[in-house]
Structure 1
């Protein structure tokens, strides 16, 4: 259940998006910000919802997913502490195109578009930071498309596992990646059955260890070798 009681969180200044920016910028956004707690598997927004807010992940994990008319699901990205999302509405303030879903207990900071856009217009360094963020997102999409076209499933799985292990900043050293086979399949554009077979093969090779809704990277160096182009 979404919790709407008032939460007290540190300033947005501590999040990576604001690194290098004047603290007065995040302080301005703090005056507009409010916070929500989401349960695991709770939807944050649906396709066709109005684009009203930008979001920062303060804790937990979020996935952004597109579902086709044939009910095929493709996960664009997983988001972790400090990540910004929902900003695409700044270009087209109409409706959401995708699902955003909390994967774990998650706390988000929300800022209304109108408030965020006002600060962006008035603060040049913030607009530059937003442009850099959008460029990185575009490069990530290009890489995902390239991987899908030119890599085998085994390579794509290895790449995604390495990326997720690097992104999940709150994960303890040598701790598990909390990810189902279906979630990984949606990330790499494969079937769950294919992902399961591939992960079992990697386990037999001593590269990963599988658990219930999680896995351990036992040998990241060998996994990186698997991820290399043929």
Structure 2
């Protein structure tokens, strides 16, 4: 369970709105740039200019690429407090990925030059951006470590634990993940197959550790789920 425990200290959900409340000028900038996207809407596509950066206020945003056979590959599932399109800060190259609203979402949209100006004038925003990006790098490093050293079952369970920590809602002794993603998306994010994800989730359900349907996933015994990380497959 070592990797899972080490991962959670930086995976806390960054509360963008509360951070902005300490700085009214920055808050006005962010709220004035809010845009709503409906489920399925594309925010940007491959080959578009990298000239905008986005902060998520609500919802979930799917980041992915397309293989040569046009198969969709999901590389990240972002939520409230996350930033995406950040390549705009360091390069003017065309985008290589896409961003799509996984559910109805609301984001703040900044042009490259406007956000750079805001960071130069506001240390709070610069710190917030660096914190978000630092979390992203650490999470990607742990994902790479998991791919190299962990089996499929462990990767799927660690994904569930990280998801609970970031966005799970506690209900008594249980935790709920609402608007949970599809088995195929979990497979893409853990480099497994949809069939493997379904098998692992069904096994966990049969052990009464989780329950799930198309709209939510309920963790009934978090400690038992954690204990499976070091258990034999």
Q: TM-score range by the shorter chain?
A: 0.7 to 0.9
Which piece of structure 1 moves more, 196-205 or 116-125? 116-125
What is the CA distance between 1:81 and its match in structure 2?
1.6
Question: Relative contact order (alpha carbons < 8 A, sep ≥ 6): 1 or 2 greater?
Answer: 2
| Structure 1 gaps, min length 5 | 1-13
What is the CA distance between 1:41 and its match in structure 2?
2.0
CA contact (8 A) 1:162 1:224 kept: yes
Determine helix, strand or coil for the equivalent of 1:19: helix
TM-score (norm 1): 0.81
What is the CA distance between 1:165 and its match in structure 2?
1.5
Question: For residues 227 and 72 of structure 1, do their structure 2 counterparts lie closer, same or farther at Cα, with a shift above 3 Å needed?
Answer: farther
| Structure 2 gaps, min length 5 | 1-13
What is the CA distance between 1:26 and its match in structure 2?
1.4
Structure having the higher strand fraction is 2
What is the CA distance between 1:22 and its match in structure 2?
5.4
1:104-119 aligned at under 5 Å gives the runs 104-119=103-118
Distance across 2 between alignment mates of 1:105 and 1:164? 19
What is the CA distance between 1:181 and its match in structure 2?
0.7
CA contact (8 A) 1:155 1:229 kept: no
CA contact (8 A) 1:73 1:186 kept: no
Deviations 1:84-112 (A, max 9, x none): 22112111122222111111111111121
Determine helix, strand or coil for the equivalent of 2:176: coil
Q: Which residue of 1 aligns with 2:214?
A: 212
Distance across 1 between alignment mates of 2:223 and 2:27? 42
1:11-160 aligned at under 5 Å gives the runs 15-16=15-16, 19=19, 23-24=23-24, 26-27=26-27, 29-30=29-30, 33-71=32-70, 73-160=72-159
Distance across 1 between alignment mates of 2:213 and 2:22? 44
